[in-house]
Structure 1
Amino acid sequence: MDGGVTVVTNPLVNVRLTSSISSFEVQRRFNRGISIAELKGKLEMVLGATPSCMDLDLFSVSDKFLQKMDDNEALLGSFPVDDDCRIHVTDRSGQMSEFSDVSKVEKFEIPEESYEKRTDSARSFMKKHRVGVYNEEEMAKKKADLAAREEEQKAAADAISVGSRCQVQVSGQPTKLGTVMYVGKCG
């Protein structure tokens, strides 16, 4: 025996990825034997930032900052990366933020009269096949159902008076007793 220490870990690690580019969190699995430069190349495909403009920060499972991952030659496994750790990518280029601002996007708008004349639109298809709001019978039935439901609710509300005792049941919570303080429509 040479007296050396041998550390045995899983060669793959599952990490959570966040970035300054997107508000979404992504989970990916990486080999601990890849360099940080290779990791940045893989992250480019996931997040869209250029590797040369990436800053990587490592956070623990409980989201405590551990350290910067700024040595491109170092192996991913040389950092204290465990399953469910988070790697936050900061894009220093600033170019990706302009794609998330929809106010800079020019909208295509067509006048209502021109759209009405088109035969290849969703509206013309719905009219032709009598779908949705263009099906008078179905819309009349829905309107009648709504009126009947409102009438039932009104009759039920008329049977309740302010000051009456009531029992409130919410799924997942214990039943509660109370007193009616208001009868009517909300809003």
Structure 2
Amino acid sequence: MASGQVSLEIKTNENTNVTERRFPGTMLIADLKNRLEVITGASAATMKLTFYDLSGNLIAPAEDEKTIESYLLNNSGGKLQLRVKDSNMIGFEDLSMVEKNVMSNEDYENRTDSLRAFKMRNQLGRFAPNVAKLEEEEVDPSIKIGERCEVKVAGAPPRRGQVMYIGKIGNKPGKFVGVKYDEPYGKNDGSFDGVRYFQCPSNYGSFVKPSNVQVGDYPEIDVNFDE
């Protein structure tokens, strides 16, 4: 067979990525292994090479004293698939093989080169000034537990009820007002993320921002469902 360049589609271990390279057909397999070290990261001393045709059919395992072109078939068109296996090579697609460095939250808090420290210095994310302002926002002192109230939220009709809770819920920033509605217009029963903050029937409870709550003389509205 005439000498020339052979195009190899190279796969390493179980990695699905394919690297295509051209090599002289007269190159010995032993020399090819040395070249593949830079391309695949496998070791020439421990790698095993196997040639396949472009349809994935096995041709033969490679032998060091043979040339690349000796594995070409008449209908290969100067191209081959080459699979490189090296059991000593860590497959980085398998994260279980990668040693993990576990750090306690306390140690992480004390680091000055962490992402959290960077965000704090530059007031980014949850450390941004607008978020901090929301955390510090005080609830209108007129809003007290037990007071009648009316809740006005954009896109929804006014809803009346009773203030049942004032404070934080879960990890949400800022304070919320827990309201027990007179009608089943709510989304919960006074609990949030599995934690109960007040008691009411299902779908009668809701947590809203203080700015959406107005307390005062808001008697319960009689609704005649028979009309």
Superposed counterparts of 1:14-163, under 5 Å: 14-20=7-13, 22-70=15-63, 72-80=64-72, 82-91=77-86, 94-97=87-90, 102-103=95-96, 105-137=98-130
Is the alpha carbon distance of 1:112 and 1:65 closer, same or farther for their aligned partners in structure 2, counting shifts above 3 Å? same
CA distance in 1 between partners of 2:45 and 2:54 (Å): 27
Structure holding more helix per residue: 1
SS at structure 1 position matched to 2:100: coil
1:38: Cα distance to partner?
Answer: 0.7
Is the alpha carbon distance of 1:38 and 1:97 closer, same or farther for their aligned partners in structure 2, counting shifts above 3 Å? same
CA distance in 2 between partners of 1:35 and 1:117 (Å): 56
Larger radius of gyration: 2
SS at structure 1 position matched to 2:50: strand
Give the number of the structure with larger relative contact order, counting CA–CA contacts within 8 Å between residues 6 or more apart: 1
CA distance in 2 between partners of 1:109 and 1:36 (Å): 43
TM-score by length of 1: 0.55
1:27: Cα distance to partner?
Answer: 1.6
CA distance in 2 between partners of 1:56 and 1:105 (Å): 25
Unmatched tracts of structure 2, length 5 or more: 134-153, 157-227
CA distance in 2 between partners of 1:50 and 1:120 (Å): 36
Instruction: Check conservation: 2:46, 2:88, Cα contact below 8 A.
Output: no
CA distance in 2 between partners of 1:13 and 1:138 (Å): 61
CA distance in 1 between partners of 2:30 and 2:44 (Å): 7
Provide the identity percentage: 27
Structure holding more strand per residue: 2
The Cα offsets for residues 87-109 of structure 1, whole Å up to 9 and x where unpaired, read as 11233xx3225877644655333
Is the alpha carbon distance of 1:139 and 1:75 closer, same or farther for their aligned partners in structure 2, counting shifts above 3 Å? farther
2:7 corresponds to which letter in structure 1?
N
CA distance in 2 between partners of 1:13 and 1:26 (Å): 14
Is the alpha carbon distance of 1:55 and 1:116 closer, same or farther for their aligned partners in structure 2, counting shifts above 3 Å? closer
TM-score by length of 2: 0.47
1:118 corresponds to which letter in structure 2?
R
CA distance in 2 between partners of 1:48 and 1:118 (Å): 34
SS at structure 2 position matched to 1:128: helix
The Cα offsets for residues 40-71 of structure 1, whole Å up to 9 and x where unpaired, read as 1111222233334333221111222222322x
Unmatched tracts of structure 1, length 5 or more: 1-6, 141-150, 155-187
Q: Which region of structure 1 is more displaced relative to structure 2, 101-110 or 61-70?
A: 101-110
CA distance in 2 between partners of 1:27 and 1:60 (Å): 14
CA distance in 1 between partners of 2:122 and 2:40 (Å): 43
1:34: Cα distance to partner?
Answer: 1.0
1:83: Cα distance to partner?
Answer: 4.6
CA distance in 2 between partners of 1:138 and 1:38 (Å): 61
